[in-house]
Structure 1
Amino acid sequence: MGAELSRRSFLAVAGLLGLTTACGSDTGREGSAEGTLRHWYHAYGEDGVQDAVRRYAAAYPGARVEVQWNPGDYDSKVLTALQNSAVPDVFEAQVKVDWVRQRQVVPLDDLLGGTREDFVGTLLESQTVDGALYGIPQAIDTQVLYYRPSLLERAGVAPPRTVDELVEATRRLTAGGVRGLFAGNDGGVGVLTAPLLWSAGLDLLSEDGEAPGFDDPRAATAFGKLRELHQGGGLLLGAPTDWADPGAFVDGLAAMQWTGLWNLPKITEAHGDDVGVLPFPRLDDAGADSVPVGAFSAMVNARSADVDAAKAYVKWLWVEQADHQVEFATAFGAHLPARKSLAERAESLRDGPGRDVVGFVTDSGRIASPARWPARANTALSDAVSRIAREGAGAEGELRAAVEVAKAEIDRQDR
């Protein structure tokens, strides 16, 4: 794929996600930092990320910045910190409406200046609550279905284009020590819930964000397909690593794996040209193919001892330092930069499976974690899907209960 075609592909992605013409960068820095700022990251699986973010922090001229790497349950650790502590000053996450309502994070609109139109518009929207921006996107991530063309050909299986075909392919590709599909050690409950809704033409929230988007009989049909995957015996469970790591696919434990674009370099290093990628397939002609689109964003703790200093650091790193932003997105795995003006530098996505994924984002990208989607609603839906898929519970009754929880949580947010 030539450089010009690559540029057009990224412009197509930008157009889908609401990106418009880039403006000049605002390089003024607000405030000054005294003392130490503490910056939290979750534990990235890609080699080199930790060293890079420590290097960025050390280069910041406005303050001493300590980076904390957080393996394990990062989300719970952030929730606890925001409730009780001035640490961290800066952290990466996806904006949650409850954090805004409880005034645990601060607005960051003033950091963007003339660069606002250079950021992916829909990503900014996903980090916005009540008209204010609470997170600066760091890079664009997505997830896709990886498969081994040679294994599908040997089994006489075509790349699955519907959910039923995925169920059948998972069964037929299971042979010997190889399972048909790996979608996490919970059997896909965590990462396939939203794609299953999208496959049926539904979503977590209604279009206006004021109601659950899965109060529909088609949701029960879609989640029933996950039950069929569990019953078919072709799902890999109990793998040494979970869905976000490519180990199961790289080591030949599964013929297909649902995992992140960030793993593309490791997967192609292991399997060369014997790698294909697909979006999550549609349920039927009334549904849609899809890939989740999301981004960790840099956020500022409202309890920070120096909010202005923390904001100045975020502006320096994620608005002003283009070279750091490009390296972060492209040097340690495959990601799309969060800004149009930097997207052409993502060389790993110019051909092969990377180019295909750019097309999926263009055609079928869906925001993975809306800011207005409540945590308790997510837990209720996830628990319902788990019982449907893993225990054979009745889908209609489980989803009715989850819908009621979601309605109550959405109403609570607006009070």
Structure 2
Amino acid sequence: MSAMSSNWDRRSVLRAAAGLSAAGALAACGSNNGRSGGGSSGKSLVQYFHAYGEAGTEQAIKKYAKAYDKAAVTTQWITGSDFESKLFATLLTKNAPDLFEFHPQIQLVKSGQVADLTDIIDPVKDDFNPADITSHTVDGKIYGVRMIDDPQFFFYRPSLLEKAGVKVPTTLDELIEAAAKLTTGKVKGLFLGNDLHAVINPMIWSAGADTLDEKNQIAYHTDGVIEGIKKMRKLFTSGDLLLDAPADYWDPSALNQGLCAMQFCGMWAMPQFQQTLGDDIGVFPFPKVTDAGKPSVYNGGWSMFVNAKGKNVDLAKEYVKWLWIDQKKYQEDWATSYGFHIPPRTSIAQSATKLKSGLPAEGVKLFNEYGHFDNIGWTQAMITALEDVFADSVRKGGDPGAALDKADKTVDRELKKLFG
């Protein structure tokens, strides 16, 4: 996920994937779907993007599209928090886009909404981060081309830690202690986001567990995760957590404005942190929760999908191949010129000069050492079930075991629907 406009939330996007069929009533993108023209070929395509927050992103995507000479490619740049509702509503109408960005979700594959892109990815598959192939694969077929990888970790101000006599935390207990020592006056020790949702999966991984195992069975209901939830409750009630920031975790403003000493955020925000704080900025992964656990980094990101129900499937696939597979110069530009992201192509990631030294290089190292990627089988209903666990147990102080039992029922129901 990239740094985005202030009312954006990646999780709200994912909610839409669960409700494809229910979105029809919202189909209101207007009749101006940009299909006029077509350049010298007379052919045209429409692509949907959410409004990235980094300056220059809209201009960049439109510049790439303009350079394509086989069709006139129009970009719908959708601002505000309604990207997902507009996208999924419009996919059900005659104004549906030919291609769109989103995250790997198995419902899109099962409903026949996204085209199989194996034929265009296979020749270069070995140049992609293997996890970016796995997270887009269902039954041996690859759906979607990853455009950027977005690791998320803690940013902190070394000067504040030094002043408080605090070392960089390596365990969740140490993070809680550090947050207490760093809380002074109006400055809170730590910011995890206003709803805490961003750290649910990292906490599970750092407890030595996972969302699902390789057989698509529940893997998050462990003693370590229960212990982690209890520690998160302790942190939540400590008074050391910033809970009402003007913008959410993906925006660097909480740390940049001095509202906290440590903030969970994404690599995309590194240039903004550096611009404001200079060299007084460092990063560390989500620390281990239990002795059996180990640090973790969530690798989000965005991928390009072709609408399998569109009128121009082959043409859209040609464009996706041209831009996101053949045009390495544009791929590097997209990943490193507007905030820092890691190119999913190994060859580009290795040659990207902006990621070779300093803080970006440290981010890449954490990504490679501790990274976890999206599981295409982990659906929005499952995501919501664990968000409910946090609401019940971390915010309200309920019993974590009982809350996980409740989540298990929802997740099991979803798994039966998807995998039998």
TM-score range, shorter chain: 0.7 to 0.9
TM, length-normalised to structure 2: 0.87
The answer to whether 1:393 aligns with 2:398 is yes
1:383 aligns with one of 360, 368, 388: 388
Q: Residue 394 of structure 2: SS of its match in structure 1?
A: helix
Match of 1:11 in 2: none
Report if the CA contact (8 A) 1:83-1:104 is conserved: no
1:184 aligns with one of 171, 187, 193: 193
CA distance in 2: counterparts of 1:172 and 1:77, whole angstroms = 45
Q: Residue 62 of structure 1: SS of its match in structure 2?
A: coil
The higher relative CO (CA closer than 8 Å, separation ≥ 6) is in 1
Bigger drift between 272-281 and 36-45 goes to: 36-45
Alpha-carbon shift at residue 184 of structure 1 (Å): 1.1
CA distance in 2: counterparts of 1:163 and 1:34, whole angstroms = 58
**1:235-274 counterparts in 2 under 5 A?**
235-274=241-280
CA distance in 1: counterparts of 2:92 and 2:221, whole angstroms = 32
How big is each residue's C-alpha offset from its partner over 1:259-292, in whole Å with a ceiling of 9 and x where there is no partner?
0001111101111111111000001220010101
CA distance in 1: counterparts of 2:407 and 2:93, whole angstroms = 30
Report if the CA contact (8 A) 1:39-1:67 is conserved: yes
Report if the CA contact (8 A) 1:183-1:258 is conserved: yes
CA distance in 1: counterparts of 2:124 and 2:322, whole angstroms = 13
Match of 2:202 in 1: 195
Does the C-alpha gap of structure 1 residues 33 and 413 become closer, same or farther in structure 2, counting only changes over 3 Å?
farther
Does the C-alpha gap of structure 1 residues 357 and 300 become closer, same or farther in structure 2, counting only changes over 3 Å?
same
Match of 1:338 in 2: 344
Does the C-alpha gap of structure 1 residues 278 and 107 become closer, same or farther in structure 2, counting only changes over 3 Å?
same
1:407 aligns with one of 408, 412, 416: 412
TM, length-normalised to structure 1: 0.88
Q: Residue 112 of structure 1: SS of its match in structure 2?
A: helix
CA-based RMSD = 1.6
Match of 2:231 in 1: 225
How many residues align? The count is 380
Q: What amino acid maps onto 2:211 in structure 1? A: L
Does the C-alpha gap of structure 1 residues 371 and 33 become closer, same or farther in structure 2, counting only changes over 3 Å?
farther
CA distance in 1: counterparts of 2:204 and 2:280, whole angstroms = 30
Alpha-carbon shift at residue 77 of structure 1 (Å): 3.6
Q: Residue 351 of structure 2: SS of its match in structure 1?
A: coil
Does the C-alpha gap of structure 1 residues 86 and 410 become closer, same or farther in structure 2, counting only changes over 3 Å?
farther
CA distance in 1: counterparts of 2:419 and 2:122, whole angstroms = 30
Q: 4+ residue stretches of structure 1 with deviation over 6 A? A: none
Report if the CA contact (8 A) 1:262-1:335 is conserved: yes
1:51 aligns with one of 59, 62, 67: 59
How big is each residue's C-alpha offset from its partner over 1:222-245, in whole Å with a ceiling of 9 and x where there is no partner?
122221121011111221211111
Q: What amino acid maps onto 1:155 in structure 2? A: A
Q: Residue 261 of structure 2: SS of its match in structure 1?
A: strand
**1:91-240 counterparts in 2 under 5 A?**
91-186=100-195, 188=196, 190-208=197-215, 210-240=216-246
Report if the CA contact (8 A) 1:138-1:318 is conserved: yes
CA distance in 2: counterparts of 1:154 and 1:145, whole angstroms = 19
Report if the CA contact (8 A) 1:33-1:306 is conserved: no
Report if the CA contact (8 A) 2:146-2:304 is conserved: yes
How big is each residue's C-alpha offset from its partner over 1:291-345, in whole Å with a ceiling of 9 and x where there is no partner?
0123311101122121111111111110111111010011111111111121233
Does the C-alpha gap of structure 1 residues 83 and 381 become closer, same or farther in structure 2, counting only changes over 3 Å?
farther
Match of 1:14 in 2: none
2:77 aligns with one of 69, 86, 89: 69
Report if the CA contact (8 A) 2:152-2:300 is conserved: no
Match of 2:292 in 1: 286
CA distance in 1: counterparts of 2:376 and 2:91, whole angstroms = 16
CA distance in 1: counterparts of 2:287 and 2:85, whole angstroms = 32
**Please, which runs of 5 or more residues in structure 1 have no aligned partner?**
1-31
CA distance in 1: counterparts of 2:85 and 2:218, whole angstroms = 24
Alpha-carbon shift at residue 33 of structure 1 (Å): 7.3
Identity among equivalent positions (%) equals 39
